[in-house]
Each structure stands twice: as C-alpha cells, then as structure tokens.
Structure 1
Amino acid sequence: MAKLSIRGVRKSYGQVDILKGIDIELNDGEFLVLLGPSGCGKSTLLNIVAGLTDLSAGEVRIDERVVNDVHPKDRDIAMVFQSYALYPNMSVAKNMEFGLEMRGIARPAREAAVAKAARLLQIEHLLGRKPGELSGGQRQRVAIGRALVREPKVFLFDEPLSNLDAKLRIEMRTEIKKLHQRLGTTIVYVTHDQVEAMTLASRIAIMRNGLVQQLATPAEIYNRPANMYVAAFVGAPAMNFLRGRIAQQEGRLGVTAEVRSGGGGTPRFLPLHDPAPQIGQWVGRDIVLGIRPEAISIAGTVDSTFPATEIDAEIDVIEPTGADTLAYFTMGGTSAVARVRPQDVAAAGGTTRFALDLSRSCLFDPQTEARLN
C-alpha cells in the first residue's frame, strides 16, 4: 500500500490546457474514482500518475517519493487498461507472469504469484487457455490478475469495464470491490459511469474541464454536492432544479417560487426546514432550489419527519423501472421527476398532488452555481 500525492498538476498541449491545477491527497488503501464526462481530463491525469504522459507543471509523489521523472516500470504501479492488452499467442498463465519474467523474477516465485492471483480471481481453470478462448469478463479478470501478481504500491484502472455488457459489468464491479476489501491496496480508477463510482469508491473526484469540482465520499457528493454541476451529474435521474427567491414569512425562511405546471400563477412560499444561518443573508435574493427525485412523493403515501410541502401537477410521462416508478411532470415551467412507488401512480395525464420533502433540499447561488447550505 502507498500514499499518493498529486500536487498542482497541469497539462497543456500548446495553447490548450487539459489539466488546470489538480490537487489530490490519497491515503494508504484508499479507492479513488476519477469521475467525469469524456474530455474532462481524467484519463490524462491517470496516465500522468502512470508515467505514460509527461506533466507540464506540478508533481506526483508515491510514498513521498517524487516520480515526475521516474520511468513507468520503476514507479511500482500496475495498470489495467480498457482494452485488456493481452498477448494473444500466450496462455493465461504466461500473460500473467510475463511482466515478472521481464523483471528477472525466478520461475518458482512467478508461478506462486500467478497461482495466488488466479485463486483470488477464480480463474485457476483458465490458466492453460489463450485469450481468444475467453469471454470478455474472463479476459478482464486475466488483465487484473496480471496487475495483481506485481503486488504494486498503487493500482491504476482505466475504464476497465466499459467493454462489458451490463450484467458482466455488475459482476466485475462486485469482484473489484471484493478484491479491494481483501487486499486493502491503493487504487485510482477512471470511469464516466456514476454507478461504478458510487459503488466502488471510498472517495470520488468529480472532474470537469480539467478541474476537480468536488473531492469527497460518495454519500457527501450525493447529499451535499459542491455545486449544480455535481448535483446534476451524480444521480439518475438528476437533481431537480427550481428557480426562486429567499423570503421570510412569519419568522420562517423559505423559497418563493412559481410551482404551477403552466406557470403564470402567484409564487408559492415553500418553507425551509432548519436552514443554515447564512441563508438569512439571502432574503430577497434569487437562488436555485435543488431536490432529488426520491425526495418527491405522491402526497399521503410516505411518512416524513418534517411536514411536506404539497403541490399539484399534471404527470406527463410515467417510466416503470421495476422497484420504482419515475413520474415526470412540470414544476414552475421546468421539467421535474419524482421517484415513487409503482402502486402510488397509475397513469399519465391526470393532475396529481406531490409532496416535497424540503428537509432534503439544497440551495445554490444562480451566479456561481455553488451550494449555499
């Protein structure tokens, strides 16, 4: 295991800035996921840690050792690629031990390392096969096994599950999580899949345009997003946003906003539950109210610790997803979605009373998009 420090890392190609100053401190045994859309710089950052791409400024440290100018093979890292990168003419066992052979490790030690990794990954029965005889999930296990035998200080994963079908992705995700729990190894994992990030990570770095938007635990990122970008990116469906203004009525702080489906009505006062002290400074100022789909229910169907704020809206579309149903409606001229129980909503087209649990809401500055509470 090892600590990993990424300090002030920048990468530019000519006048184009890909990474604009990344600072991440990773403790021994942490599982960090770099999450973001294509082009945000996450794979570039991973390649810089691996030594496959030179940085323009900053430094990378592994166990307090600066590795900026250290060759990839001497960094004591192992990388698992999206494309498996297996040698087609070699058996599974040979693929797994090839790196050790190149490092001059004796045959008995190589065979013992391969046997140990194969047991962990449950691929002992595949050791004599060639990659072409394996399924995608089996090939990914072999690629992980080839990294495991190295016993590196840091594991790097570059979107390793993106080539697998949905069922295999879930299975391999579980295997990777089990592996991390058994070994306690430091891992940096790149993905654009928020479900992978939320289920695997001990911390997530949300990236956008070469910058880290938020670095926190999955729970904190989901419940207390740093800004509107993070709130919209993490969560399926995304957080609902409603524009309004902070107001005070009868000594209570709340948000006045237009909630009618068609718009044009008198703004409603939506009382906030235990708002942060600084929200009082925003009275009379515009804000954005954010609320997750699961904090919106059909009125009268869910018990809430706090009194819910009820609104009437016409359901536009219903999407059954099995355990839940997504009900899409319009709130104040903006499309919104509620995650409700299947038995609570029957069909689209009717006016329905929704209950908003504002104790679970977020408030954002419409100018900076930063969270206020």
Structure 2
Amino acid sequence: MAQLSIRNVRKNYGPVDILKGIDIELADGEFLVLLGPSGCGKSTLLNIIAGLTDVSSGEVRVGDRVINDVHPKDRDIAMVFQSYALYPNMSVAKNMEFGLEMRKVERSVREAAVAKVAKLLQIEHLLARKPAELSGGQRQRVAIGRALVREPKVFLFDEPLSNLDAKLRVEMRTEIKKLHQRLGTTIVYVTHDQIEAMTLASRIAIMKDGLVQQLATPAEIYDRPANMYVAGFIGAPAMNFLRGQIAQQEGKLGISALVTAHGAQGPRFLPLADPAPQLGGWLGRDIVLGVRPEAISIAGTVEPVAQLAEVEAEIDLVEPTGADTLAYFSMGGATTVARIRPQDVAGAGGTMRFAIDLSRSSLFDPQTEVRLN
C-alpha cells in the first residue's frame, strides 16, 4: 500500500485536450472513486496511472517514486478490468497465479498466495474450473483475486461491475467494500454509477470535460455540492433547481419564486433564517435555489425547524416507488419533485401544502453555477 499523487496531469491528442490539469493526493489506504459521464476523462486518468497511456505533462507518484516512465509491469499496480480479461484456456487457479509465475515467483509461494486469496474471496471450490464454467459474479471474483495475489501498492478498478445484472451488482459492491475494510488497500475505482461511488468511496472526484469539479467525501458532495453540475449529477431523483430572486420581506432575506396553485401562478417568499453575509449584496438579483427531493415534505408531517418554508402547489404527477412516493409540481419555473410518504400524498390535480427545509438547501450563482452558501 502507498500514497498516490497526481500532480497537474494533462493528456492531449493533438489539439484535443482530454485531461486539463488533474491534481489529486490520495492517502495510504484511501478508496477514491473517479465519477463522471462517458468522455469526461476518468478512464484516461486510470490508464495513465496504470501506465497504459502516456501522460502529456504532469507527474504521477506512488509513494516517493515518480512512475511516469516506469513500465506498467514494474509499477507495482494491479488493475481489474471491466471485461474480466481472464485466460479462457487456464483454470481459475492458473489465472490467479499467472502474474506471479511471470515474475519467477516460486511455485510453493504462488500456490500459498492463491489459496489465501481464494479463501478470502470464497472461491476455493472454483479453482479447478475454467472461466467459461463461471457466472459473471464468479468471474469478477477471480479477476479481483488475480490482482490481490500480487499484493500491489495500488489497486485500479475500471468499471468492474458494469457487466453484471442489478442484483449481482449490489452483492459485488458489498463484497468490494468489505474487502477494502479488511485489507485497507489503496484503491482508485472508475464508474459512471453514482450509487457505486456514494457507497464505496472514502472520497469522490467528480469529473467533467477533463477537469475535477469537486473532490470530497460522499457526504460533503451530497450536502454541499461545489456547483450545479455536481448537484445535478448526484442524487436520484436529482436536486431540484428553482429559479428566483433574493428578496426582503419584513426585514428578512429570502427567495421569491413562482409557484402554481389553484390553477394560477404567483410569487411565494421563502425566508432564509441564517443567510450567508454575502447574500445581502444580492438583493433583487436572480439566484438558483437547489433543494433535494427529500428536503421537501408535506406540511405538518415533520418536526418544525428554523428554516422551514411552506408553499401550496398543485400536484402534476405522482410516482409510487414502494417505500416512498415522488410528487411532481411546478415551482420556480421548473418541475419540482418531492420525496414523501405514500400515505401523505394526494392524487395528480390536487393541491397540497409542502414544507421546504431551507437549512438543507444550496444557493447557486445562475451565471457561473458556483455555490454561494
């Protein structure tokens, strides 16, 4: 295990910039998830760490060692691929020990390492089988086992669960989390699945267009997104973005937004109990209020808090999801969704009074989309 440092890493193909200056410091034993849509540069960054892609400029370090020009096999890094990349003509045991064999490790040491890892991953009964005789989840365990037997300083995972069905993906996600907790390994994990990122990571780097938009813990990214892109990317359903203006009413700063109720649209004032000092200079200016669906409830069904604002709105659509129900209504010129209890919701076309917990909200500059509070 070791620290991993990525310092001002850039990658370009001619005039096309894929990575535009990535800086990440990863502590020993951390689990970093690179999260973002296709084309954001996350897999390119992973391949640079692995040595499969050359860096255009910048520096990659493992511990005190700069590895920019080190051959992939000499970097002491193991990678688990999306496609498993198992040798079809070899048994599970042979697949797992092949890397050690290429490094001229003694047979007895190889066999001991395979036995240890197979027990850890609960695949001892599969050692004599070929990959074609395994399920997707079993193949993924073998691929992970092949990386583990090498005992590298850093593990890289390239969307390892994307080929699995939903149920198996949840199970394997749990196994990877347990594995990290037991071994304390340094891991960099690439995915476009926000649930994987939120459940696995000690920190998440959210990427867009070759840049890191925010690098923080899952809780901080969810509660205090750095900008509207991060806020909208994380969460299902995504954060509501309500357009309005900073206004003042009875000496209190708040947000004036349009709400549809009883077939008519009119302004509603949402008071801010503890506004950030800089918001005083925003009086009369446009702003974007970001509210998670779970921060909107039916009035009277939650304990009152200092920043609870109530609005009456007409329900446009109701989506039952089992434990919760999603209620859609129009507010701030956009469709807004609330996550509420099934027994509290009215049908589409009805009018309900909602309570918005503004202590859990975010305020953004509509021009730069950067967080203000």
TM-score for the superposition, normalised by structure 1: 0.98
1:49-128 equivalences in 2 (<5 Å): 49-128=49-128
- Change in 2 beyond 3 A, CA 1:72/1:261: farther
Q: 1:103: how far off?
A: 0.4
Letter aligned with residue 283 of structure 2: V
The whole-number CA distance in structure 1 between the counterparts of 2:69 and 2:83 is: 27
Aligned to 1:234: 234
Letter aligned with residue 40 of structure 1: C
The whole-number CA distance in structure 2 between the counterparts of 1:194 and 1:314 is: 31
1:185-234 per-position Cα deviation (integer Å, ceiling 9, x unaligned): 10000000000000000000000000000000000000000000000000
Aligned to 2:316: 316
Q: 1:355: how far off?
A: 1.2
Letter aligned with residue 200 of structure 1: L
1:1-373 equivalences in 2 (<5 Å): 1-260=1-260, 265-306=265-306, 308-373=308-373
CA contact under 8 A between 1:304 and 1:357: conserved in structure 2?
A: no
Q: 1:250: how far off?
A: 2.6
Letter aligned with residue 164 of structure 2: L
The whole-number CA distance in structure 2 between the counterparts of 1:73 and 1:262 is: 68
The whole-number CA distance in structure 2 between the counterparts of 1:332 and 1:2 is: 49
- Change in 2 beyond 3 A, CA 1:261/1:73: farther
CA contact under 8 A between 1:203 and 1:216: conserved in structure 2?
A: yes
CA contact under 8 A between 1:261 and 1:332: conserved in structure 2?
A: no
- Change in 2 beyond 3 A, CA 1:154/1:269: same
**Aligned Cα root-mean-square deviation (Å):** 1.3
CA contact under 8 A between 2:2 and 2:27: conserved in structure 1?
A: yes
The whole-number CA distance in structure 2 between the counterparts of 1:180 and 1:134 is: 24
Secondary structure, aligned partner of 1:275: coil
CA contact under 8 A between 2:96 and 2:149: conserved in structure 1?
A: yes
Letter aligned with residue 365 of structure 1: D
The whole-number CA distance in structure 2 between the counterparts of 1:115 and 1:349 is: 63
- Change in 2 beyond 3 A, CA 1:262/1:331: farther
The whole-number CA distance in structure 2 between the counterparts of 1:321 and 1:151 is: 43
Q: 1:248: how far off?
A: 2.3
Q: 1:263: how far off?
A: 9.1
The whole-number CA distance in structure 1 between the counterparts of 2:168 and 2:66 is: 38
The whole-number CA distance in structure 2 between the counterparts of 1:36 and 1:13 is: 20
CA contact under 8 A between 2:315 and 2:346: conserved in structure 1?
A: no
Q: 1:308: how far off?
A: 2.3
1:96-137 per-position Cα deviation (integer Å, ceiling 9, x unaligned): 000000000001110111011111111011111110000000
Q: 1:265: how far off?
A: 4.2
The whole-number CA distance in structure 2 between the counterparts of 1:352 and 1:19 is: 48
280-289 vs 10-19, which deviates more?
A: 280-289
Aligned residues with identical type, % of pairs: 83
- Change in 2 beyond 3 A, CA 1:262/1:286: farther
Letter aligned with residue 14 of structure 2: G
Letter aligned with residue 241 of structure 2: F
Secondary structure, aligned partner of 1:90: coil
215-224 vs 322-331, which deviates more?
A: 322-331
The whole-number CA distance in structure 2 between the counterparts of 1:74 and 1:217 is: 31
The whole-number CA distance in structure 2 between the counterparts of 1:319 and 1:73 is: 51
Secondary structure, aligned partner of 1:84: coil
The whole-number CA distance in structure 1 between the counterparts of 2:62 and 2:169 is: 30
The whole-number CA distance in structure 1 between the counterparts of 2:273 and 2:146 is: 53
CA contact under 8 A between 2:137 and 2:164: conserved in structure 1?
A: yes
The whole-number CA distance in structure 2 between the counterparts of 1:153 and 1:239 is: 38
Q: 1:359: how far off?
A: 1.3
The whole-number CA distance in structure 2 between the counterparts of 1:148 and 1:263 is: 62
Secondary structure, aligned partner of 1:301: coil
TM-score for the superposition, normalised by structure 2: 0.98
Secondary structure, aligned partner of 1:267: strand
The whole-number CA distance in structure 1 between the counterparts of 2:310 and 2:254 is: 14
Q: 1:333: how far off?
A: 2.8
Letter aligned with residue 109 of structure 1: V
1:230-273 per-position Cα deviation (integer Å, ceiling 9, x unaligned): 00000000000111111222332111121225997442221012
Secondary structure, aligned partner of 1:220: helix
The whole-number CA distance in structure 2 between the counterparts of 1:12 and 1:292 is: 37
CA contact under 8 A between 2:60 and 2:66: conserved in structure 1?
A: yes
- Change in 2 beyond 3 A, CA 1:174/1:114: same
350-359 vs 259-268, which deviates more?
A: 259-268
1:27-73 per-position Cα deviation (integer Å, ceiling 9, x unaligned): 00000000000000000000000000001110100002110000000
The whole-number CA distance in structure 2 between the counterparts of 1:20 and 1:10 is: 5
Secondary structure, aligned partner of 1:319: strand
CA contact under 8 A between 1:297 and 1:340: conserved in structure 2?
A: yes
21-30 vs 279-288, which deviates more?
A: 279-288
